[in-house]
Structure 1
Amino acid sequence: MDNATDEPARARYRRSAGSPRGEARRRELLAKITDDVAENGLVDFSLRRAARAAGTTHKVLLYHFEGAEDLLRQVVFALRERRIGNALTAVAAESPTLAGRVRAAWCSLRDEETRLRRVLDQAMGLAMYDPGRYAALGRGASQQYLPTLVSFCPPHWPERRKLEVAEMILATLRGFLVDLLTSPDGEGAEAGVAALLRAVEREEAAP
């Protein structure tokens, strides 16, 4: 990260929040920067690199964002939203069982672009490496993914049960995604998913 994120620099620029025109410009800039990060990863991310990707200056970015960390958080959020949207599209064509929905979501995750998977794993790595600075990247992942997984559960289940099962699915699929990045054939991940689906089917069959 560059030093364009310090408080004095931020204080010189007025945020655009609340202005419809400013919000539209912020979304436009964020989309360009998100595309750049999806293509090139998080290594050496800075306001100046983001400004080049967006065709503007870091001072303009400071008008629309709080700083590099705020921008990075919003970029990662946008990339996760892409992942969730892809998974929901796949799930919509699947049988309306929890196991079927998890299977469809897994296939979407398994087949997504490796670059996207690596970027989101890099974000989690930053959260683990420097939690004081990037903890929001880690917390944000669960906050984004869990509501979708909870929505996969049978509607008559108690909310606590839905959340417990969603937590299990999320933690397990995260591990399998890491395995896909580190194993040459992915057989271990597929075997693990098969076991997860059997466990989900048993959970669905339980009273």
Structure 2
Amino acid sequence: MEQGYRRSAGSARGEARRQALLESVTEDLAEHGLVDFSLRRAARAAGTTHKVLLYHFDGVDDLLVQAVDRLRARRIDNSMAAAALRAGEGTLAARIEALWPVLIDPRSGHRVLEQSTGLAMYDPARYAKFGREATSQYLPPLLALCPPDWSERRRTEVAELILATLRGLLLNRVIGADPASVEAGFAALLRALEREEASP
């Protein structure tokens, strides 16, 4: 962190300002992605200066991590709301099918979230948190979608399978894979879930 700047001290007014700045930066990130992300670009998006951002955040990495976390939380909330609409159908496959359109909606910031996974692979010393944070944010809701009568181990295994498969399919979409092949892969995941639910 640059000398002479500090994070806001935690007053209600300071926290409200910090949240407003973070929301503006998050919206810019969702629209423009991670390429060329910098403190100065974030400041322009928030209508302020980089010095003000350094007062409220511990630097560009702290700001980036918090904005990505916010995008991911928003995506998860929207996905789970879509899945909840299918809860009456009773199947895990139906709930996963319902959340897919939310995951691939451009408004979800999906490109940024997949780019952040790439950063975690490219520079794990600096960006490993993107991988860890994604897993810790996605797994609990996926576990909650699994049938409650399953054992904890079975729910964990299936939730891990869903997460890994969805990550792979979403990354394939970002790198330009044939959309039909991505949809075929997703359909195969749904069939696998149907078989899993049908087994004792």
Q: Same fold by TM-score, threshold 0.5 exceeded? A: yes
The match for 1:141 is 134
The answer to whether the 8 Å contact 2:30/2:107 transfers is no
Distance change >3 Å, CA 57–CA 160, structure 1 → 2: same
Q: What is the 5 A alignment of 1:69-88?
A: 69-88=61-80
RMSD across aligned positions (CA): 1.7
1:122 aligned partner: 115
Task: Name the counterpart of 1:171.
Answer: 164
CA contact (8 A) 2:26 2:67 kept: yes
TM superposition shift of 1:62: 1.2
Q: Which position in structure 1 is the counterpart of 2:29? A: 37
User: Are 1:159 and 2:152 counterparts?
Assistant: yes
Give per-residue Cα distances to partners, 1:10-57, cap 9 Å, x unaligned: x52232253221111111000000111111111111111111111111
Matching residue of 2:90: 96
Partner residue, 1:52: 44
Cα deviation per residue 1:112-165 (whole Å; 9 max; x = unaligned)? 017822211211111111111111112111111111111101112222221111
Q: Which runs of no fewer than 5 residues in structure 1 stay unpaired?
A: 1-6
Does structure 2 conserve the Cα–Cα contact (< 8 Å) formed by 1:51 and 1:61? yes
1:108 aligned residue = 102
Q: Is 1:204 aligned to residue 194 of structure 2?
A: no
Deviations 1:50-90 (A, max 9, x none): 11111111111111111111100001111111211221221
Contact 1:30 1:75 survives alignment (8 Å): yes
**TM-score normalised to the size of structure 2?**
0.91
The residue that corresponds to 1:28 in the other structure is 20
**Could you list the per-position Cα deviations for residues 172-197 of structure 1 after superposition, in whole angstroms to 9, with x for gaps in the alignment?**
0111112223124x111222122211
1:187 is aligned to 2:180: yes
**Equivalent residues of 1:13, 1:63 under 8 A apart:** yes
- Hey, which bits of structure 1, 4+ residues long, moved more than 3 A? none
Cα 1:108–1:20, aligned 2, differ >3 Å: closer, same or farther? same
2: CA distance, partners of 1:193 / 1:123: 22
Q: Distance in 2 between matches of 1:72 and 1:90?
A: 27
Q: Sequence identity of aligned pairs in percent?
A: 61
User: Across the two proteins, how many residue pairs are aligned to each other?
Assistant: 197
Q: CA 1:84–1:17 in 2, change beyond 3 Å: closer, same or farther?
A: farther
The answer to whether residue 62 in structure 2 is matched with residue 67 in structure 1 is no
Uncovered stretches (5+) of structure 2, i.e. residues with no partner: none
Quick one: distance in 2 between partners of 1:12 and 1:70? 17
